[in-house]
Chains A and B, each alone.
Chain A
């Protein structure tokens, strides 16, 4: 890993922290506020790729663990990992990695605009939703004793918001690919 990759990783972790400072947007038709921070997983994978994206989130998790209030709403500290949603926080690194792997395979700067968007959207959905919930939900079920099926059904509430985030992330990733491409594997 060269110095540029190291800096990209650090700057992306910093971007994710800033996304947590942006006030959340509440939409009328779904009860869950859209925080820009949870979109960071999809953005990281799609913009800086699998390896650097995962490292950016490992760095972010380290910042949470050492007691900096970097999660949206000024949360942080070891208590976050001890709580029910600890699996989602730790799962972010894996989710960013999978998102990046898919994006690196399916999206090339030479592709048409629509194909790039489709590739980023697919990567965001599989990495940022499927993989993330596959880690977070069983963890939550194990920690809280809530039966797995009930925990999985309950998380369906968040899916519409997540799909919307995947769409926003895909559009933003496409804009970055057009304006300042970083995805082509260099790390």
Chain B
């Protein structure tokens, strides 16, 4: 149900370490926001676009991943056309689309495991201050991934129950029971975690 947005592949960008990619993303966004010149932004857009398309996705898949964001950018650009000079609007579109394409390229070439390793390192200072525990974050992530299919099955069961009684399926009547039934499990799950001593408490 929750398949990662990672794309299998052997492109050079797949082999770049996660940390380098994330630092590059920050630098690229700073550089893109520092300039308004179309002669710099157009090549940047073409570079990010060709990087994104070189990752081994079909064109259709590549477009469907960023299509929604591009749609929002275009709508805002249309509004901007009435308020700002045309070269400015062109610069804004190029800058945002380049950034979105680069970010999508990082997501497509990084596995969840690699991200998690990096997050664990980023959390070290907080852990030392006693604010949170890296192990808790991984445990919480694991719990979410484990329980989404169960909760979705519960949603479908509630919906079927509505249909069987001839009731209209409405968010209002579904959300309440869904939340109560799910959160009622929390005690059992917490007891199971503590019984196994995962958190050493």
Q: Which residues of A contact B (CB under 8 A)?
A: 1-4, 6-15, 17-19, 21-22, 25, 34, 36, 39, 43, 47-48, 59, 62-63, 65-70, 73, 75-85, 140, 143-147, 150, 154, 168, 171-172, 175-176, 179-180, 182
Evaluate contact between B183 and A11: CB separation under 8 angstroms: yes
Given contacts A6-B136, A68-B2, A180-B180, contact A11 B175 (CB under 8 A): no
Residues of B within 8 A of A67 (CB): 4-6, 107-108, 110, 112, 115
Residues of A within 8 A of B110 (CB): 66-67
Q: Which residues of B contact A (CB under 8 A)?
A: 2-6, 25, 29, 65-66, 68-69, 72-73, 76-77, 79-80, 83-84, 88-89, 92, 96, 99-104, 106-108, 110, 112, 115-116, 119, 136-137, 139-141, 143-145, 147-148, 151-152, 155, 171-172, 174-176, 178-180, 182-187, 189-190, 193-194, 199, 201
Given contacts A18-B178, A182-B183, contact A83 B148 (CB under 8 A): no
Residues of A within 8 A of B80 (CB): 144-146
Instruction: For B183, give its contact among A12, A13, A18 (CB under 8 Å).
Output: A12
Given contacts A14-B147, A21-B152, A147-B83, contact A78 B106 (CB under 8 A): yes
A79 to B5, CA, bound (A): 11
Can you give 28 A-B contacts (C-beta < 8 A)? A3-B201, A7-B143, A7-B193, A10-B140, A11-B147, A13-B140, A14-B143, A14-B144, A14-B182, A15-B178, A59-B140, A62-B119, A62-B141, A65-B115, A66-B4, A68-B2, A79-B107, A82-B96, A82-B103, A84-B69, A144-B76, A144-B96, A172-B172, A172-B175, A179-B176, A180-B180, A180-B184, A182-B183
Q: Taking chain B's interface residues, is the majority helix, strand, or loop, or is none over half, making it mixed?
A: helix
Q: Taking chain A's interface residues, is the majority helix, strand, or loop, or is none over half, making it mixed?
A: helix
A11 to B154, CA, bound (A): 13
Evaluate contact between B176 and A172: CB separation under 8 angstroms: yes
* 6 closest A-B pairs by CB: A77-B107, A10-B143, A83-B69, A78-B103, A175-B176, A66-B115
Residues of A within 8 A of B83 (CB): 146-147, 150
Residues of B within 8 A of A76 (CB): 5, 107
Evaluate contact between B171 and A43: CB separation under 8 angstroms: no
Distance to closest chain B CB from A57 (angstroms): 12
Nearest opposing residue in chain B for A23, CB measure: B169
Residues of B within 8 A of A171 (CB): 172, 176
Evaluate contact between B2 and A144: CB separation under 8 angstroms: no
A81 to B102, CA, bound (A): 12
Distance to closest chain B CB from A153 (angstroms): 10
Residues of A within 8 A of B180 (CB): 175-176, 179-180
Nearest opposing residue in chain A for B107, CB measure: A77
Given contacts A66-B115, A144-B76, contact A36 B175 (CB under 8 A): yes
Given contacts A18-B178, A21-B155, 8 further A-B contacts (CB under 8 A): A11-B151, A18-B152, A22-B171, A59-B144, A79-B65, A82-B69, A83-B73, A145-B84
Evaluate contact between A73 and B73: CB separation under 8 angstroms: no
Distance to closest chain B CB from A105 (angstroms): 21
Evaluate contact between B29 and A82: CB separation under 8 angstroms: yes
A20 to B182, CA, bound (A): 16
A13 to B142, CA, bound (A): 11
Evaluate contact between B190 and A3: CB separation under 8 angstroms: yes
A47 to B184, CA, bound (A): 13
Residue among B136, B143, B175, B189 with the most chain A CB within 10 A? B175
